[in-house]
Structure 1
Amino acid sequence: MRPASPSTEPHFSFVLETPAATPEAARQHFLAKLSVETDPADLKLDLERGRKGFVVVDTRSPEAYARRHIPGALNIPGRTVTAETTASLSKDDVIIVYCWSPGCNGATKAAVRFAALGFRVKELIGGIEYWVKEGFPTEGTLPLGTPVFGMTGEL
């Protein structure tokens, strides 16, 4: 007789196979996560309130930025983040970076570059895709209502 596999055992749990972290370890993990991420709703509310202390940076190409971007965002493509291209930014401000979507790591790569230059940085989770999905305003040459799609352009 074959031994039962974990997936067929009635009392086996894929969720609980790895024990959950202690409450303190979980608190530390989620605090660390929040220290490097923000979401579209929080950013929009702070922008509406005129909150200072951060700069929004679109890390996509100049062409993608021209088509659609978050109002007021600067365009510094991720691969061009250097001491020279960031010289006008204050290290007193937190840099909020974004790219296309959760499937794009361009903002993550740019965040590494900003941090290496001594900037505090957070990534906008969901990128421009989730900003648009939330119905938040954008600027650019695309007509309103045109969806954002991937690296090659729009639908």
Structure 2
Amino acid sequence: MTTTVNPVLRVAPASPAVAAAHFRASLALHTDVSDVAAALEAGGDPGFVLLDSRSAEAWDQGHVPGAVHLPAAHVPERASALLDPSVPVVTYCWGPGCDGAARAALALAELGHRVKEMLGGFEYWVREGFAFETVRGRERHVADALTAPLGADACGC
């Protein structure tokens, strides 16, 4: 008799304590576009600086309003002139397939900054229907129903 191994449970789930520690650590290092948008739209000081770690060409193509532009490769030599080390930094790059935000976050952490990475990057900012700036001005696309609820302000998570 052949037994079929459940691919989900081939490796047993972590204990609740291990899982809690993992997800607590993950949330200390990551945020998402909806939470960033809510913090920025609330008005006043959001308590962090949003940093776009992409190239000048990418920045011109579109970026989150209010973000600071500092390509990941230039963080070591330019961060001290642009960022206050006492203010947390949230980094973003193109999207889930790009690790530029992680490279920028690493460089900032090595310089003594507290950092988080915005999951989804600029791609999900646009796909979730948030406004962005380009060299032509402010733009906004209709939210993608696969990334955000249509007609609602938040996903409810």
TM-score by length of 1: 0.83
* Aligned amino acid, residue 122 of structure 1: K
**Structure 2 residue corresponding to 1:72, chosen from 63, 66, 74:** 66
One of 80, 84, 87 as aligned partner of 1:90:
84
Confirm or deny: 8 A CA contact 1:68 1:142 kept in the other structure: no
Secondary structure at 2:134's aligned position in 1? coil
Residue by residue, what CA displacement relative to the aligned partner does 1:82-125 show, whole Å, maximum 9, x if unpaired?
15433331112111100001000111111110000000000010
2:118 corresponds to: 124
Q: Indicate the residue corresponding to 2:39 in structure 1.
A: 46
Name the counterpart of 2:98. Answer: 104
Q: Which amino acid aligns with 1:88?
A: L
Q: 1:84 to 1:68 in 2, by over 3 A?
A: closer
Bigger proportion of residues as helix: 2
Look up the match of 1:22.
15
* Secondary structure at the counterpart of residue 56 of structure 1: strand
Partner amino acid, structure 2, of 1:96? V
Q: Does 1:135 align with 2:122?
A: no
Gaps of 5+ in 1: 147-155
Aligned-pair Cα RMSD in Å: 2.0
CA distance in structure 1 between the aligned counterparts of 2:46 and 2:111, rounded to whole angstroms? 21
Q: State the partner residue of 2:107.
A: 113
Is 1:35 the counterpart of 2:38? The answer is no
Q: Which runs of 5+ in 2 are unaligned?
A: 142-157
CA contact (8 A) 1:115 1:121 kept: yes
Aligned residues: 140
Which runs of at least 4 in structure 1 moved beyond 2 Å after TM superposition? 83-88, 141-146
Retained in 2: the 8 A contact 1:69–1:138?
Answer: yes
Cα drift, residue 52 of structure 1: 2.8
Matched-pair contact (CA < 8 Å) for 2:32–2:120: yes
Q: Percent same amino acid at aligned positions?
A: 42
User: CA 1:142–1:128 in structure 2 vs 1: closer, same or farther (change >3 Å)?
Assistant: farther
